[in-house]
């Protein structure tokens, strides 16, 4: 759980051979190398879209200011190239219970002028149903296996997990986030048996 609450885990997954969105960590006092196209700067520890911002190649000065603000607050920053397909396709979130795939849903783009929810802290997510392709499912399973192995567990030891995957500019799937600590699980976008599968996973873990 501690490992997963810092997005530095994406670097660990990449080192384990999992296809991830390219991720650079910029600690306080370090300078960033901005990607060539649009890119995202966000804190390595955060929730929802707090502190996340998208910049164009002409926005390096603004990105530098945002980076300085994150550093001043004590955050290490994550810099990632923005994947253009997200604007049209969003993200595909694959949900697992007890290491087994349950269902998937889509999440619309969150850095394109979306509205904040009633708390004023998070972007209102536009969610929909999804049926992931085989390559998406295989990648999500690889990510979970690598994550579990990183901390000495098996995939089946994870009561629940959500793997968010996007299509890269090269047309291939890549992991954007892997959530095992506080994910929304998309029950409203799932089939009616998803809550039963979750309950069974809880019961199995307790026994």
Which pLDDT does position 124 carry in this prediction?
Answer: 56
Report all structural domains of the chain as residue ranges with CATH numbers, in order of start: 22-81 (3.30.1490), 86-206 (3.30.470.20)
Q: Could you tell me the pTM of the whole model? A: 0.88
Q: What would the pLDDT profile of 129-166 be if each residue is shown by its tens digit?
A: 888 889 999 999 999 999 999 999 999 999 999 999 99
Q: What would the pLDDT profile of 15-72 be if each residue is shown by its tens digit?
A: 999 999 999 999 999 999 999 999 999 999 987 677 899 999 999 999 999 999 999 9
Q: Which residue has the higher pLDDT, 119 or 95?
A: 95
Which pLDDT does position 132 carry in this prediction?
Answer: 87
Which pLDDT does position 123 carry in this prediction?
Answer: 53
- Torsion angle of C-alpha atoms 167, 40, 49, 28, degrees rounded to 10: 140
The DSSP call for residue 46 is: -
- Please give the Cα distance from 53 to 133 (Å, whole number): 29
């Amino acid at each position: 759980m501690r490992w997963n609450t810092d997005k530095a885990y994406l670097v660990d997954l990449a080192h384990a051979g999992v296809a991830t969105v390219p991720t650079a960590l910029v600690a306080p006092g370090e300078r960033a190398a901005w990607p060539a196209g649009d890119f995202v700067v966000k804190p390595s520890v955060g929730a929802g879209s707090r502190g996340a911002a998208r910049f164009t190649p002409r926005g390096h000065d603004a990105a530098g200011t945002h980076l300085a603000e994150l550093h001043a607050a004590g955050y290490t920053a994550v810099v990632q190239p923005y994947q253009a397909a997200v604007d049209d396709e969003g993200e595909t979130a694959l949900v697992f219970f007890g290491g087994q795939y349950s269902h998937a849903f889509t999440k619309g783009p969150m850095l394109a002028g979306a509205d904040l929810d009633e708390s004023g802290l998070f972007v209102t997510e536009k969610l929909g149903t999804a049926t992931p392709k085989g390559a998406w499912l295989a990648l999500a399973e690889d990510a979970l296996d690598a994550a579990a192995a990183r901390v000495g567990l098996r995939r089946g030891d994870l009561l629940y997990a959500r793997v968010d995957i996007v299509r890269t500019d090269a047309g291939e799937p890549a992991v954007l986030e892997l959530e095992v600590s506080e994910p929304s699980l998309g029950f409203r976008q799932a089939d009616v048996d998803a809550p039963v599968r979750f309950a069974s996973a809880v019961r199995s873990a307790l026994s």
